[in-house]
Structure 1
Amino acid sequence: MALRKIQTLWHQATDAADKTATASTLRSRPLLYPDEIVVEALKLPDDKARELLINETRRPGRELVPLVVALMPTLPEEGLRLLHLAGITYDIGDDPRIADTIAQVQRYPAETWRGHDPLRALLRNASKRSDCGVHLIKTLMKRNNTAAVENYLKTYAERTSAWGAAELVRELTKARGLHPVIDQFLRMVSEHTPRSLAREVPEQLRQVGRRREARTLAGLLNG
């Protein structure tokens, strides 16, 4: 009975997605996910659900975003949960896959998501580790996806600790070609990190040897 109910919801979601998403988008990215994947992913613990999603999205003809698009009109929170799980990264090797998913999300029309912000759901946990973040930023910049880089930096700034912000700056200074991103991130910290935390970041930057960045951020916070 539960499976029949899920199957009914699945067909309703697919029909609704056909009406809300543009015909050209759906023709280019058909909804190929079977409902069994939805059932299994939503009842597993997060780490197992993530493993299932990664394994399934690596199969030919199966992508994560079309599934989420199908779910959003009738089950938006579950659709966002799947995107959220896709953003959980423990392995640097997952970053290209996440970058691909980000690009897919951005290609779908805004009305498909019914007022939700799937990109923020996707980036929420990807911003937990500065070493993975640098690799993700590199991948996004190579693909000229500057909008996603800015969104990532904003999400990181909103969720980070003072030490986490300083650590990301230090990692960015080590990476070749990412120095322009540093000042962009410092601006995000000044605008989006809770002020009490943001005021601690310059001292953390000095402790990791980034005095120029500490002065820049202090100027932004006092400006």
Structure 2
Amino acid sequence: MRNFCETSSVTSALTDGRSSERRRQKKTLLMIGIILALFSCISNAMASNKERTFIMIKPDGVQRGLVGKIIERFEQKGFKLVAMKFMWASKDLLEKHYADLSSRPFFPGLVSYMNSGPVVPMVWEGLNVVKTGRRMLGETNPADSLPGTIRGDFCIQVGRNIIHGSDAVESAEKEIALWFDEKELVAWKPATCDWVYE
């Protein structure tokens, strides 16, 4: 009888020990799951902060001395400049850039105008920068642009609307790859980053 009781208590202790160990393992797995979920949320938020857009100041914007004012607007909004050039774009590059408009009657004039002076292509980075950047630019036709937008404040005619901005994330990626090499995109963290994003 004594042996049976002793065996029973040992078995009970082993069972309790195993149950306790299983509970610890479950808690550990639950904690790991929670940590991974939080990490995923943070990673997704950070990835969306790294959305990029292509912005180009056209020859009329350069000639009118608006480069600094336009850059200032994007900086004041909280976006990060990751690449910029001052260049005279070749006709070949411009034809590739505006390839989707090549069948339109105004295409030759557009390429000629864009090749008439230097341009300032840029890459900006930040949360929803493509959509927000387009809103900051205003409508393609300055007459339809609200005051406070770049085109609403600085231009009058559609043929001299001073700036180009990507209309979608996919087109931004394509335009950035056309105008910049990967090594020209500067990865850095501005001191203001913690004051712009949570």
- Same fold, TM-score > 0.5, yes or no: no
Scaled to the shorter chain, the TM-score interval is under 0.3
> How high is the TM-score relative to the length of structure 1?
0.20
Higher gyration radius (CA)? 2
> How high is the TM-score relative to the length of structure 2?
0.21
